Chains A and B, each alone.
Chain A
């Protein structure tokens, strides 16, 4: 059974760096086709894909965050990380991490297990 849980600061000030951790079990980020994606959702609004990191170390980021976003992983400890620099109030949202699988035989991607989400508020 795949489970994921996000952890983060809860509240942080504008211009600071947001650091989130996704701790997971039930899969390894060293296994072919496995990945972790980050998605955020402002309160009452829709979903925005931020980034994905894959078993082979490849990362894909949403260009809308320009160079503010970094994803990384610690395969040994079953964790993935998201850093967003220079946050402002527009970064206030619930941040989810999701187990993402690449099915090589048909080229599909699925985010088939999600964490409960971590609420992040940017406020002075």
Chain B
């Protein structure tokens, strides 16, 4: 299976911060990576697809980048409503595999 390793596992941030989280694939997955946001008690929501395409309605402070094995999700100007766990997903190989998540918490 393709292992998706996310780092860091948690981050303590302040409103207004620029936040960068990473996702590393154990093999080349091209740009076949999505990012999902899951707030406490809620279902996951799609943020980014195809590594760098912002989904409809997602604020432009969310940016995805990367290809091959290394991917990044950046939140510029962090808002309180962005507190959540963020997961990357690769769909280049079966089975599709999620990273373990990065949890954003307030300082």
Contact = CB atoms under 8 A, between A and B. Distances in A.
Q: Do A and B actually bind?
A: yes
Interface of A: 39, 46-49, 52, 60-64, 96, 106-112, 114-117
Most buried by B among A47, A49, A52, A106: A47
Interface string B70-101: 00000000000000000101010011111111
Given A107-B32, A108-B53, A114 B45 contact: yes
A96 B43 contact: yes
Q: Assign chain B's interface to a size class.
A: 20 to 34
Contacts of B43: 96, 114-117
A100 B77 CA distance: 30
A105 B39 CA distance: 31
Contact of B46 (A52, A96, A110): A110
Nearest to A97: B43
Contacts of A48: 98
B95 to A, nearest CB: 4
Contact of B98 (A47, A52, A107): A47
B89 A108 contact: no
Contacts of B100: 46
Nearest to B98: A47
Nearest to B87: A47
9 smallest CB-CB distances across A and B, nearest first, come from: A114-B43, A62-B95, A49-B96, A108-B50, A47-B98, A110-B49, A109-B91, A112-B46, A46-B100
